[in-house]
Amino acid sequence: MADGAADRWIKMGAAVLCTAGLLAAAHWQLPFLLQHWAVFTASLLLAALVLFFIRFERSAISAREVGVIAILAALAAVSRIPFAALPGFQPTTFIAIVSGYVFGGQAGFMVGAVGALGSNFFLGQGPWTPFQMLFWGLAGASAGALGRYFPGMSRAAMAVFNTLWGFLFGWLMNLFFVVFFIKPLNWSSFLLAYGASFPFDCFHAFGNLLLYLLLGCRIIKVLRRFRLKMNYTGG
Amino acid sequence: MLKHLYYRDRGTFLQSLHPAAILSYLAALLLLPLFLTHPLYLVSILLAGLLAAFTAEAAAGWCAYLTVGLWPALLLLLMNPLLSSNGHTVLFLLPPLPFIGGRTITLEALCYGAVMGMRFLAIITAFALYNTQVHPDRVTGLLSRFAWKSALLVSLATRMIPTLTRELSAAREVQQLRGVDFGTGNLRQRLQKYGWLLELLLVSSLEGSLQTAEAMQARAFGSGPRSSYLRNPVRLRDYLCSCSALAALFLSIYARVRGYADFTFYPQLGRLVDGVSGWFFYSAVMLSILLPLIIGWGWQRWPYLRSKI
């Protein structure tokens, strides 16, 4: 479609312009950005979150897809609640990853993000909510990319991917705490803060690994079968 | 503990506000501690937030937040004097510790850490108010005009969480009747048992999602442009609250930019408030933060005022 091609050019132009704008701002206003870099970083992260939601808003989506994403997000949220007492053990990452792997990056992102938002209505919203939404969403989106380019991933590779996300999620979540509250921020204070969270990150990664090894293949099979059924009757 | 956290209709003043009004007030309570580092302002905002929480019957919810937020706040209080040796007033010298070495603990660094901890608690208080005073559906309803797909998804998922929780406990009871003991076994075995539950829940709820989709399609989902219907009256109290929130934001930004709301920690603690204009800005900001609470108090006590605003 000609409109689609023009649309793509406009989007690419906008992306190039934004990047150029950011680079120019970084070049000329560097002292200002460095002084307020915490605010700048947080706004970049929030902009990324908003962009993912805009993308979802612009996509054509069927009632079935909405239903499946909603139920998977609710499941990701509910699975958090019985484990809330165990620090760091978060099945949400695992559910976002398997749904992204089967249903694609966008669905994975929405499962992670909406799961974080919805569960926090019950576990408590906080300054952590947008960051949890973004990073769990990214776990799902990256699994979607993995499922698209390497559909036949081996079990071991997927297990490694899950474990890595366990660590990565904790480290990314630490960023917001470190950036806003710890001053002076230098390597020793940075390492002290990350060291304080390291046991929790290990729990999270280990929990992810165990969940994947015990359940991953079965749940992926269930989801794949459901995707087939959904698309078949949806024709 | 968790049952105090989510929204319940308590008929309080803050709950009766339009979602945009309460959101702007809570945004003021959240943003002020984010860009102010003045201890007097931070203490007063924290106290105002606490007053709001206690008058809105959200004290239990706030305490639940405190159990989570106390540890990071203490960490901030202790970490700063350990890591920063700025400041002139030396309180005592620490013997050499692993990783960080010997340290001088100064009054200024301790105060800065305490202020950072207080800032964290003030932010947490704003969120505790949000969780207990704002119905999730009213916010998604507000957003549904701009982003209806995301709003629909969020409210569907939020609606399903209690249902799924009930189904989870039902499935757990069925498993227990069949002799599965969730309390025994090592980590791997326990995880296996919870894993069965998760899989069971997944299979049954996926079938349910197809039915949801069919129900949505039967109600003409996706068949054309959407209409929206909202019943959120905007009353005088909503204007008053959002205006006072905006006033607090603008006044404090102005005071911060002009240097009336600054406080020097290093090398030596500065004066708390400087001169008449410092006091003027402090009282103006605090008055605009407290105004909705004062109106709320009058709204509760005085039926005439309640009928008028």
Average per-residue pLDDT in chain B? Answer: 87
B163 or A178, which is more confident?
A: B163
Task: Give yes or no for a contact between B155 and A75, defined as CB atoms under 8 angstroms apart.
Answer: no
The residue-averaged pLDDT of B287-306 equals 94
Within an 8 Å CB–CB cutoff, is residue A117 touching chain B?
yes
Q: State residue B53's pLDDT score.
A: 93
Does B266 touch chain A if contact means CB atoms closer than 8 Å? no
Gap from A114 CA to chain B (nearest CA, Å) = 6
pLDDT of A212 > 70? The answer is yes
Q: Largest alpha-carbon pair distance within chain B?
A: 75
Question: Which range (A202-206, B29-33, B76-80, B168-172) has the least confidence?
Answer: B76-80
Q: CB B191 to CB A210 under 8 A? A: yes
- Would you say residue B100 has pLDDT above 70? no
pLDDT cut 90: percent of chain A above it: 38
Pick from A39, A65, A78 the residue to mutate for testing the B interface (most B CBs within 10 Å).
A78
Number of Cβ within a 10 Å radius of residue A229: 14
Is residue A178 within 8 Å of A190, Cβ to Cβ?
Answer: yes
pLDDT digits (tens, 9 = 90+) for B181-203: 877 777 778 777 877 888 888 98
Average pLDDT of every residue of chain A: 85
CB contacts under 8 A, A 154-173 vs B, are: none
Q: Which pLDDT score, from 0 to 100, does residue A4 have?
A: 66
| Domain assignments of chain B as residue spans, ordered by start | 2-138+235-308, 141-218
* Minimal-distance CA residue of chain B relative to A191: B99
CB contact under 8 A, A56 and B68: no
Confidence band, pLDDT 50/70/90 cuts, at residue B20: very high
What would the 3-class secondary structure string for B132-168 be? Answer: HHCCHHHHHHHHCCCCHHHHHHHHHHHHHHHHHHHHH
Find the residue in A nearest to B193 (Cα): A214
Q: Are A189 and B83 in contact (CB under 8 A)?
A: yes
Minimal CA–CA distance to B80: which of A190, A197, A180, A182?
A182
Is the pLDDT at A1 greater than 60, yes or no? no
Using the beta-carbon criterion (under 8 Å), do B65 and A71 form an inter-chain contact?
no
Higher pLDDT, B240 or A232: B240
Nearest-angstrom CA–CA distance, B66 and A87: 16
- Quick one: average pLDDT of B298-304? 92
Of A40 and A77, more confident: A77
Which ipTM did the prediction report?
0.85
- What letter would DSSP give residue B4? G
What is the mean pLDDT of the segment spanning B8-30? 93
* CB B90 within 8 Å of CB B106: yes
pLDDT, tens digit (0-9, with 9 covering 90-100), for A146-164: 999 988 888 899 999 999 9
pLDDT (0 to 100) of residue A84: 60
Q: Do A73 and B208 touch (CB under 8 A)?
A: no
Assess whether pLDDT exceeds 50 at residue B304. Answer: yes
Q: What is the pLDDT of residues B247-272, one digit of tens each?
A: 999 999 999 888 888 888 888 888 88
Contacts 24+ apart (CB under 8 A), B53-60: B53/B125, B53/B128, B53/B129, B53/B132, B55/B12, B55/B293, B55/B296, B55/B297, B56/B10, B56/B12, B56/B13, B56/B14, B56/B15, B56/B129, B56/B132, B56/B133, B56/B296, B57/B10, B57/B12, B58/B128, B58/B129, B58/B132, B58/B133, B60/B4
Q: Which of residues 84-123 of B touch A (CB under 8 A)?
A: 84, 86, 99-100, 112, 116, 119-120, 123
Please indicate if any CB of chain B lies within 8 Å of the CB of A41: no
Give the model's confidence band at B145: pLDDT under 50 very low, under 70 low, under 90 confident, else very high. confident
Question: How many cross-chain Cβ pairs, A to B, lie less than 8 Å apart?
Answer: 180
pLDDT of residue A82: 66
pLDDT recorded at residue B1: 43
Label residue B67 by pLDDT band (50, 70, 90).
confident
